[in-house]
Structure 1
């Protein structure tokens, strides 16, 4: 996992710590903060988290009560703009980047 390699780990850990600090100040989990950030992107954006556990579903729903100020949104944007270092998956793992999906125009019924 490239993101967890030593050359990327310290950078990515510092981003997580910054997000975790904001979450602590807000009294929520980092996951709830992330969902709230997506929710605050506009009325045409809705996070769709997946879970198989009721306790995680409840935590995700509680993210709707996390309100973010313009300053907090700006702080989160600055963290997101830096971005994590390293690919999520190593070589040999199929992802959207390596898929061979036909163009939408070739799909039947479109």
Structure 2
């Protein structure tokens, strides 16, 4: 049973082209696709900080490299066009059981720095 509809044959070729577009932009920026993705998250605002998980120092060091990737407004718009809601084909998980949809994260306005 396939738990990842995005990787079903009817979706994978389309989604592969999106990954190739991200990879092309990463190559133009001189970074990896992972660094580009982390940089995109980092550029979402001063109240946003990507927290990637890894168990390997080499991956950690690569993730840190994302902090030096600077994105122009045009590049941000290009990336956002790749990630629009209708760009990716197929649900993330079978039956769309994404845990984030059922989370109860309090609004940012209620957060207090200590």
TM-score range, shorter-chain basis?
0.7 to 0.9
Unaligned runs of 5+ residues in structure 2 are 106-114
TM-score scaled by length of structure 2: 0.78
Return the offset for 1:73. Answer: 0.6
Aligned residues: 101
Query: Which of the numbers 5, 28, 47 marks the counterpart of 1:44?
Result: 47
Q: Match of 1:5? A: 8
Name stretches of at least 5 consecutive residues in structure 1 with no aligned partner: 105-110
Aligned equivalent of 2:18:
15
Structure 1, residues 46-77: CA drift from partner, whole Å, max 9, x if none?
10100000000000001000000111011011
* Cα distance between partner residues in 1 of 2:12 and 2:65: 30
Aligned alpha-carbon RMSD (Å): 2.2
Q: Distance in 1 between matches of 2:35 and 2:47?
A: 19
Once residues 56 and 36 of structure 1 are traced to their aligned partners in structure 2, the CA distance between those partners, rounded to angstroms, is 15
Q: TM-score, structure 1 length as denominator? A: 0.81
The corresponding residue for 1:66 is 69
Structure 1 runs (4+) greater than 4 angstroms displaced? none
Partners of 1:35 and 1:98 lie apart in 2 by 21
Name the larger-Rg structure: 1
